[in-house]
Chains A and B, each alone.
Chain A
Amino acid sequence: MDLLKRLAWTAAAAFLAAGTASAAWAESAADRAVKEAQKYKGQTITIVWEAGLQSLDPLNFSGPLWEKLTGIKIKVVEVQTAEMFTKIMQEYRAGTGAYDALNVIPAWMPDLAGAGALEVLDPYVAKYGYADELQKIAATYRDNQMMVDGKIYGFPDDGDVFVMYYRKDIFADPKVQEAFKAKAGRELTVPKTWKEFGETGKALSDILGPDRYGAGFFRQPPYTMYMFQERFRNEGGKFFDAASMKAAINSDVGVKVLTEMRAENKFMPPGVEQWGFVENLAAFMSGQTAMTISWPPYGRWAAGYGMDEKALSWVPKSTIAGKVGYAMPPGGHPELAAGFALSVASTSKNKDAAYLFIQWLNSEDISLQRVKLPTALRDPFRESHFTDAGYLALWPDAKDYLAALQAGSKTGLLDLSLLQTDKYEEVLRQSISKLWAGDDPKTILDAAAAEWDAITKKIGVDKQKAVYANWASKSGAYPQ
């Protein structure tokens, strides 16, 4: 009888415990983070964030809201993108514990994780019940930008992806269509291959000229480096020979890509080689160019979203609102250029509080609010962001915009991510600047391949080969 009683009590206790647990997991990851974080009331979390528009999110929205909910203050350390890796590593090496949470470009993760600068997040994800919501991040970001050697080091938090923007009014104009058909011998369509892009861009420049052009791109080396990575792989190129780890960028594909890139400049506005993010934006917003490729904010700003915000006063006024179409760049596999993941610094003295802050930021509820901030530059990265009714209603063509981002999230290509990635990227940046200076593409790429090989040799061929194999095995490394 005693045994029966004991069993009954045990069953009841188990039932109650299960009920409590399920009730606990029923609350959202954001609510759970807030509840747990209230234990750390009065503490301050220091987070590294990209300087400029990006940091308006924690400064004006998420930071003050988190403090209101939990009593934890957020101190934002604004750092230029180019200096972020250095700052994070310097503080880590010095062991200052100056940073608690970090914004990390996913391509840096092997280096930062390998050095020990990032906290492994798996135990925290389990402890604070974030696994389910983490799974709802769009597959490309979740599967490719979160882990190193099977461990979670950061939460993908920014759906950076290249999108092709085109003037749908020009593409739909019967006169332009007729003139294009006469010139190109085919119907005017949004280009799906780089060959089509070259033909369309040139023909449109001829038709719309002399002051309007078929296309314009940012051509400064840091941006073009990403475009090269994208085009090279869309055309079938491989960065390395997987067996020997010899650089393979000087293949025929590489030469073709560089040759075509330079040829395209001829039908773009004069001086396009000097264009950065803002110059390209200004040209597209003013109606000077009919096609361009860039990150998602272009699409929002071109539609006029958020343009009454003071922080965006520097953005050229859009003359093309309602006239912009969104598509995948030629080749169909856009570069997931840069992006950001949220991490916890391994030297933080407030790891739990720092973790809870990034879980809250990254959660379904809060991230949706953050990607809709007109001033911030975080782009949709969760499945729920792409289908949110509120986002879809932000401007008339938001549905098409989100559809393009969602398509990109399915087919996007990862930035090359190895040990000491920046050394390889620097070679690419220099190669691009040599290309604009007029050097021969084959010579440029042979020199670049030799430099890549020297870097690999210095790091250790086998060591780098293993990292490359891991990277190349990811779904977004090469077009599937």
Chain B
Amino acid sequence: MNGADSLDWNGVLHNRPSRMPDRFFKYWILVPAVFLLLLIGLFPLIYSLLVSFQQITMTDYDTSFVGFVNYAALFEDLRLWQSILHTLIITAIALPVELLLGLAMAQLFLEKIPGRQIFISLIVLPTVISPIVAGATWRLLFDQSYGPVNQIIGWFTGTNVVLLWTITPKLVYPAIIICEIWQWTPFMFLILLAALSNVDKSLTEAAELDGAGFWRTFFKIVLPAIWPVMAIAILIRGVDLVRTFDVIWALTSGGPGTMTETISIYTYVQGFRQFESSYTAAIAFLIVALMTMIVTWAIRRMGLAQ
């Protein structure tokens, strides 16, 4: 009796034609899950694409198709390109600093020091805080009336200092970047600590015996060993920084003016403050296109695809 045979109520064997060959069955059972994933993942994407060609705003009933009008408007929208520039500035500064600090700290904690586990747990704490809470906390820390930052600076300078961290153009970027670094350096630290812990000690010891100094050992042995993990960490944080919203929203709301408005903040303002649904969809697709290009380039450049 094979899979295509069956017994009737009287126990008589019948030869039943197979409705699906066994080799396709495994694919059929995947169909519901794939369908669900497509529904959740692909439908919003396609719907957003559709919306980006319409003229939908939440306060107007006109939903007519306008072709590429929204995409054409992107190129004339100076505020959009400025927001992209602001995003890149923050990413270009915060990412290397977080990487270097995280690496330095990881190197430090490779050594067996007393209370190592407790210190690691404490260092990682900022990462588990919600970014909006971190931003609000730093806003308080930077406050002129109640915040300790200016007080501490005042102790060093011996005078009352007035530094409006969230208002003065020269200080807003440092404020944002300090907050970002404070919160996300521990993420880099944790990943790089794991990577460094897995470097084959016999190789570094052999290099030392051969007379190689710390930097030579680091660049020739340690860095190549941890590079795949480090590249992933850079990629994750890079993408995170491009998406950054909460911290800046809590600290400056994108101000003064639009000086610290990032692409995420601008998209939020367009979508949920100004209710320009179709234009926001077009911005979203611009971001998807830009991010896809950057990430693909980065993956190739970092050799992660090999």
Contact = CB atoms under 8 A, between A and B. Distances in A.
A179 to B, nearest CB: 24
28 contacts: A86-B58, A89-B59, A89-B275, A111-B59, A114-B59, A115-B58, A115-B61, A221-B253, A270-B144, A270-B160, A271-B144, A271-B162, A273-B167, A274-B143, A274-B144, A274-B164, A279-B146, A283-B145, A420-B59, A420-B274, A420-B275, A422-B273, A433-B167, A436-B256, A437-B167, A437-B168, A438-B169, A439-B256
Nearest to B142: A274
A271 to B, nearest CB: 2
Contact of A437 (B143, B144, B257, B272): B257
Interface string B160-182: 10101011110000000000000
B274 A270 contact: no
Contacts of A115: 58-61
Q: Is the interface of A mostly helix, strand, loop or mixed?
A: helix
Given A114-B59, A221-B255, A274 B274 contact: no
Interface in B238-256: 253, 255-256
Nearest to A92: B58
Contacts of B58: 86, 89-90, 93, 115
A289 to B, nearest CB: 12
B145 A271 contact: yes
Contacts of B168: 437-438
A279 B59 contact: no
Contacts of B199: none
Contacts of A439: 256-257
A437 B169 contact: yes
Given A89-B275, A430-B257, A436-B256, A419 B59 contact: yes
A423 interface: yes
Contacts of B166: 274
A426 interface: yes
B259 interface: yes
A125 B143 CA distance: 49
Nearest to B252: A433
Given A274-B164, A426-B274, A269 B145 contact: yes
A93 B61 CA distance: 10
Nearest to B257: A434
Given A115-B59, A426-B269, A271 B164 contact: yes
Interface string A410-431: 0000000001101100100011
Given A420-B275, A437-B167, 6 more contacts: A86-B272, A86-B273, A275-B145, A426-B269, A436-B164, A437-B169
Contacts of A430: 255-258
A93 B269 CA distance: 19
Contacts of A283: 145
A270 B253 CA distance: 21
A430 B167 CA distance: 12
B249 to A, nearest CB: 11
A221 B166 CA distance: 12
A431 B259 CA distance: 12
Contacts of A431: 257
A111 B272 CA distance: 15
B59 A437 contact: no
A279 B145 contact: yes
Nearest to A426: B273
Nearest to A423: B274
Contacts of B61: 115
A75 to B, nearest CB: 24
Nearest to A431: B257
B257 A433 contact: yes
Nearest to B275: A89
B90 to A, nearest CB: 18
Contact of A271 (B143, B253, B255, B258): B143
Given A269-B145, A273-B167, A274-B164, A433 B256 contact: yes
Contacts of A419: 59
Contacts of A436: 164, 167, 256
A275 B162 CA distance: 14
* Most chain A beta carbons < 10 A, residue from B60, B146, B256: B256
B256 A437 contact: yes
Nearest to B146: A279
Contacts of B274: 420, 422-423, 426
Contacts of B272: 86
Nearest to B269: A426
B147 to A, nearest CB: 9
Which of A279, A283, A437 has the most CB atoms of chain B within a 10 A radius of its CB? A437
A418 to B, nearest CB: 11
A430 B164 CA distance: 17
A297 B199 CA distance: 64
